Every structure is written in C-alpha cells, then in structure tokens.
Structure 1
C-alpha cells in the first residue's frame, strides 16, 4: 500500500469522513494511488484501500474480475472502514473501472447509506468503445473488460433509470486527453446534482492522460479539494447536467 494508506489507528477529523480508494483495471492501489494516497494522508485524512479482482491468487494485475463481484468486495471493505473509524459515512474515490464500481455499488448495492461523497476519476460509467465484447463467456481473462463494454448486461442494469442516487455528492473529473475510456464525453453523468469537470477547464494547457491525472500536481490538487468537499477553483467552466 502507498504511504499513509490503511493506517487503521487513524481518527478522522470531525468535519471529514474516512476515504476509500478504488483502483482500475489491470492495476493495483499502489499503481493507481501511489501519489494521491499519500497526498490525502498528508491532508490529515484517513485513507483506506484494498486490491481486488485478481484472476487467481498471486496475480500482479488486479481489477480483472467481474465488476459486480468487485463491487461487493468494496461494499464489505467499506463496512470494515466504518467499523474501524467509528464513522457513519465514507468518501469514495474511484479511477476508471473503480469509478464504475463506485456508481454500481452506490445504486445496485445500496451503498448510498454508507457514502457522503463520491469523486469519480475518468470513470467507465457508460462503458468504453475499446472493449471488444460485452459477453463474459467470450473472455478468458479480463471479465471486467467485457463488463465495461457499453452493451454489457451489467451496463444495461446500471443504466435502467437514473445512475445516481439521492444523498450522495457526486463529482466527476475527466481529461480531454484520455485514450482509454472512449468516447471521452461518456465519462460524464449528466444528471441533476452531478459536478462534471474537465481538468482542462481549470488548466487549459494540461495534457494529462487517463492515468497521468493521478500523478500530475495540479490535477492532484483539484482531486484533493473535491475529496475534502471544498469548492473548485473559481471561474472553472463545468459541464452542466442536461
């Protein structure tokens, strides 16, 4: 785990809840949050994460298992974090598939009663066009890749009715240079109350990639403010819900 992550003796400040990080496909907590985890901990936040979704024990690559199964593991982990910290709610942060898992957990697994704020980073919430098939049975290794096809059964279940649920503050951060979750604009959820932000609306010359946003100083600063519930930089042009 990155420095500062999974300090089970940490006590959240009165105005902050513990933070749970959810990594993406073919990733780990260290790979996805090697910078953000310590950055949040340095802000005196209690930060927690787990690696999930390995095809078999000992695999370096994580996040390849079925999205619904990974979401259930996150649901169980959130309960552990709440128990350890004595708090009623957590703040979720999910990158790429981790963003999809967050949306799925909140809506399909009644996660909203455990979460106050969700910051989704380049989420595959509407799938990605680079996924080859929506059929898990045609995939030998990365079942999560099939789940992230725009026409997968899991995606269809998630998109029946509104994706968001009441009681959660949603923010989505996207880079215009993404080459993984495509089309890029499909990373946004255009529903009332969702704060959709392009990094380039705050930093016009920024050319961070899908994963590069996790290691860029200004992007990390933006993400940190959202995680803490602080307003973003004044003057940012945000995509409004339809």
Structure 2
C-alpha cells in the first residue's frame, strides 16, 4: 500500500489545488527566513485614519510572504499596519501551508490576532484573506470568539461553501479510498470540498455573526472555487462584489485576483475604509 500512497498523495493535493491555488515558488526572501519588507512591523501603531491593524490570511498552498507580495505593499503604502501569518503547516512540507485541519488553523489565527492587538494597542483588527484564507477566519469568528476582536472580514475568492472544481470532486466516490487518503494526508483539502462535514457545521444557522462586516470579492473566471457564486455570503452586513461588474475586461482568475489584481486591491481598500471609499473601475488598476 505504501507505493500507492506515494502516488496518490500528490494527486490528492492537486485535486483541489488544480495548479491554481499554488502561489509562485517561494521567493528568496521567504526561503531564507528573512522578514517581509514593509509589513509585520510590530512597532507599527495604527493611525487615526486607519485605527485597526490588517491581518492577511493566505490561501491553500500559500504562505505569509508570497501570497501578499502585491497587496501588503499596496496597503502599507496607504498607511495601514499590516501583518501576515503562516498557518496549517504540515510536517515535512516547507513553504506551502494551509493544509492542516482548518479548525486548528483557526486557532492559530486566533492566537496571531491576539498578538497583533497586543502589539498595536488596537481593540479590533480587520482580516483580509484569499481563498481558504477568506473562509477559515469564519470559524474563528463563529466558534472561537473572534467576533469580539474583528471589525471586518474581506474574502478574496473565498471558499465559503466549498468547491466542486467544476464537477471534478463529484468523481471522488468512483475512486474508493481516495477521499479517506485526502482527509488523512491533507485535511484542509478534503474540508474544502462542497458538502464536507466542516463546511456543513460552519454554515449551519447562517453565514455571518453579528458585529462583523463581510465583503466577498469574486471573479467569474475562478476555476478553483466553483461555481464562483458559491463564494457569496448571505446575511446582514454583507457585500458581495463581482470583479467584472467593476471592470468588465478584468480577466483575473483564482490566483491573479489575490496576487496581482489592483482592481481587487482597490476594492479591498474600500472595504477596509468604507467612509472614504472611492468608486472602483478599470482605471483603479493604475491608482
């Protein structure tokens, strides 16, 4: 059975990754363990205009640096105190995180937010997450008391109701044992399949919790979290945004919307500071 596991484990990882959740190979800075430039500065004190620190939560197969080489500088340049964490690490798997049980990842986020609040002196933080990073914080908000520590959650292509990978996950029952292996080897991947026990618990009783503002930024060209409308949330204090409604010629898919899309970044900034929001258009890519 061991050779079979060696073959199926990477195939199982690819099932939900579909090569699109994976960020570019680790940068030299991250590989060398060097600190990120311009963010994760624990001496940063939030300004009067932006009184809450922003915590960035990477996606599956992401990490605290590579996932945010676009958005973190974008926000720090706009005078936000920005922090990012690694979570969901598996033994023997460097650089590519977000693979461990999502409940445990939410506990890591809980501890990290507490650390950020203690360092900055703020009473609440805002969270921005990509893919799993836009969904996992909802467990923290709903079950770990996070609603007392978080003002807003902004999900970029979040996996809020699971993915079918355009129907590919429907094939799992035809390959006995693969689903169990997926759960054993990379728990977070199995938990993100539409209809999983984890997502059923997460969404039972409503998508949101009181006191938190929610924004979902999606793209119709998402090929990983499918159908893309499954990313949307229902409930009070929710704003669901389709990127192509803001700029019809934006062709970003699942990875690009989180890594490099400045139109999405502009909408993130609007969600963090709605009182100073400016219309997001195609021209926002140059702002």
Distance 1:9 1:234, change over 3 A: closer
Which one of the candidate residues 34, 39, 46 is aligned to 1:5? 39
Q: Between 24-33 and 226-235, report the one with greater CA deviation.
A: 226-235
Equivalent residue of 1:205, what SS? Answer: coil
Alignment size in residue pairs? 236
Aligned to 2:134: 99
Which one of the candidate residues 50, 53, 65 is aligned to 2:85? 50
Q: Which runs of 5+ in 1 are unaligned?
A: 236-242
Which one of the candidate residues 78, 102, 109 is aligned to 2:144? 109
Where does 1:108-147 land on structure 2 (aligned, <5 Å)?
A: 108-130=143-165, 132=169, 137-139=180-182, 140-147=184-191
Is the CA contact 2:151–2:213 (under 8 Å) kept in the aligned structure 1?
A: yes
Cα offsets for 1:1-47 (capped at 9, x unmatched): 54212001101012420000000001112221111011111111000
Aligned to 2:270: 225
1:208 equivalenced with 2:242 (yes/no): no
Equivalent residue of 1:144, what SS? Answer: helix
Structure in which a larger fraction of residues adopt helix: 2
Normalized against structure 2, the TM-score is what?
0.77
Equivalent residue of 2:136, what SS? Answer: helix
CA RMSD across the alignment: 2.1
Aligned to 1:194: 238
Q: Between 56-65 and 83-92, report the one with greater CA deviation.
A: 56-65
Is the CA contact 1:2–1:33 (under 8 Å) kept in the aligned structure 2?
A: no
Runs of 4+ in 1 over 2 A off after TM superposition: 130-138, 227-232
Distance 1:234 1:141, change over 3 A: closer
Higher Cα Rg: structure 1 or 2? 2
Equivalent residue of 2:216, what SS? Answer: strand
- In the alignment, the residues of structure 1 paired with residue 197 and residue 131 of structure 2 have an alpha-carbon distance, to the nearest angstrom, of 19
Equivalent residue of 1:118, what SS? Answer: strand
Q: Which runs of 5+ in 2 are unaligned?
A: 1-34, 282-287
